[in-house]
Chains A and B, each alone.
Chain A
């Protein structure tokens, strides 16, 4: 059981800065995120795209912003629990007990949901029978590539994941690469490589085709793919891999009894607390009149939510407002040495 004052759900910019604000006022926090790294949408959707509206930073990329925030919270030695999605929530006396899908448990005084538009999960095939094969002969990520040796693999998608795996697996497997259009979103060098491999007969490239059906008993043995013009091809296939990027799902948070409207959690604007005492929501996931989905708004919301958490963590203490420029306590927490 990890014990802390606050559990922050989501390691995007809003969650990271909230951890900073909690640290400044002397509260401890732990952060969980379903991705394998911190940064949230900034890292997953636009790591290289410049952002121009962070106050006092004329231009920075999503990755730079994330790295700077991580640097800013370094003094607080916050634990990150990545690849974890929160599942269960239980109130135990005055505390919250939270459990993740990886069986990590937390005992906290309050919770800050900074979950963006939900946790990132792979987008799946829309054909119903695919579910039956998921995890045995149909995958959305490669965990153990040795199982594909000398087998026929059909890879769907046109981004870097699809191209990279098609190239990699073509060394040891028979690879079909299927994509819905002629253009690819992956790196140009990879696209060229795929075309070369196709010309040499090392890869079978099918463009303007999409998956039509899968068949097999326990495992897949063949699939049908359909061209834009309606033509259907039957191809033998031992495995199917789908790389369609990530989608964002609210997941188990939906069942926590929060007031949710249009996938957003309703909060008050005084301290960004939800309808449930001790549970706060900040950033893209919260809604209130006038809400702007900007990173800078998330920072403001996190600062106020952190103060809102104080009374749950330290019910017998009074929080005094202080500036980091002059507060000895805040500077000590930041590890700054004053002579």
Chain B
């Protein structure tokens, strides 16, 4: 288990214990965190599990694959710290990760 903190657009903080091996997206869906749609179910085929990674964490995450960056072009208001949460696999290294959920996914 690792603690992942999701901050929704209305500034509500949800800190959840997510099982290692699941994705940050799955952690949100299974715990009913609002604001993550994950329309394609984790296939990197849509951009509706988009999150902004807390600045302290940007460098600690595995690098984006090309496909993820391409998909982020299609996200709602992408920024340099944007990630697709389906591509972030929870592990001990990610314990304490903080992500902000955008106001919309589509």
Please provide the chain A residues from 97 to 154 with a CB less than 8 Å away from any CB of chain B in the complex.
Answer: 117-118, 123, 126
A46 touches B73 (CB 8 A): no
Q: How far is the CA of A158 from the CA of B78 in the complex (A)?
A: 13
Contact of B46 among A45, A159, A183 (CB under 8 A): A45
Looking across the interface, which residue of chain A has its beta carbon closest to that of B104? A126
B37 touches A263 (CB 8 A): yes
Looking across the interface, which residue of chain B has its beta carbon closest to that of A263? B37
B39 touches A248 (CB 8 A): yes
A157 touches B73 (CB 8 A): yes
> Would you call A185 an interface residue if the criterion is a C-beta within 8 Å of the partner chain's C-beta atoms?
yes
Q: How far is the CA of A183 from the CA of B66 in the complex (A)?
A: 9
Q: How far is the CB of B26 from chain A (nearest CB, A)?
A: 13
> Would you call B69 an interface residue if the criterion is a C-beta within 8 Å of the partner chain's C-beta atoms?
yes
Chain A residues within an 8 Å CB radius of B30: none
A123 touches B106 (CB 8 A): yes
> Would you call A333 an interface residue if the criterion is a C-beta within 8 Å of the partner chain's C-beta atoms?
no
A45 touches B74 (CB 8 A): no
Residue of B39, B66, B73 ringed by the most chain A CB atoms within 10 A: B73
Looking across the interface, which residue of chain B has its beta carbon closest to that of A179? B73
Q: How far is the CA of A91 from the CA of B97 in the complex (A)?
A: 51
How many chain-B residues does the 8 Å CB contact rule pick out? 19
Q: How far is the CB of A35 from chain B (nearest CB, A)?
A: 15
Chain B residues within an 8 Å CB radius of A249: 106
What per-residue 1/0 map shows which CB atoms of A39-75 lie under 8 Å from chain B?
0010001100000000000000000000000000000
Q: How far is the CB of A49 from chain B (nearest CB, A)?
A: 9
Q: How far is the CA of A110 from the CA of B39 in the complex (A)?
A: 27
How many chain-A residues does the 8 Å CB contact rule pick out? 25
Contact of B45 among A41, A123, A126 (CB under 8 A): A41
Given contacts A45-B46, A117-B39, A117-B40, whether A245 and B74 have CB atoms under 8 Å apart is yes
Chain A residues within an 8 Å CB radius of B73: 157-159, 179-181, 185, 244-245
> Would you call B80 an interface residue if the criterion is a C-beta within 8 Å of the partner chain's C-beta atoms?
yes
Chain B residues within an 8 Å CB radius of A158: 70, 73
Given contacts A123-B106, A244-B73, A293-B41, whether A180 and B46 have CB atoms under 8 Å apart is no
A185 touches B70 (CB 8 A): yes
B77 touches A126 (CB 8 A): yes
B106 touches A183 (CB 8 A): no
Q: How far is the CA of A123 from the CA of B46 in the complex (A)?
A: 11
Q: How far is the CB of A121 from chain B (nearest CB, A)?
A: 9
B106 touches A180 (CB 8 A): no
Chain A residues within an 8 Å CB radius of B70: 158-159, 185
Q: How far is the CB of A58 from chain B (nearest CB, A)?
A: 19
> Would you call A247 an interface residue if the criterion is a C-beta within 8 Å of the partner chain's C-beta atoms?
yes
Please provide the chain B residues from 42 to 83 with a CB less than 8 Å away from any CB of chain A in the complex.
Answer: 45-48, 66, 69-70, 73-74, 76-78, 80
> Would you call A94 an interface residue if the criterion is a C-beta within 8 Å of the partner chain's C-beta atoms?
no
What per-residue 1/0 map shows which CB atoms of A239-255 lie under 8 Å from chain B?
00000111111000000
Q: How far is the CB of A205 from chain B (nearest CB, A)?
A: 15
Assuming A46-B45, A158-B70, A180-B78, what are 11 further A-B pairs, CB within 8 angstroms?
A41-B40, A117-B40, A123-B74, A126-B76, A180-B73, A181-B73, A183-B69, A244-B73, A245-B47, A246-B74, A247-B46
Q: Which A residues are within 8 Å of any B CB, using their own CB? A: 41, 45-46, 117-118, 123, 126, 157-159, 179-181, 183, 185, 228, 244-249, 263, 284, 293
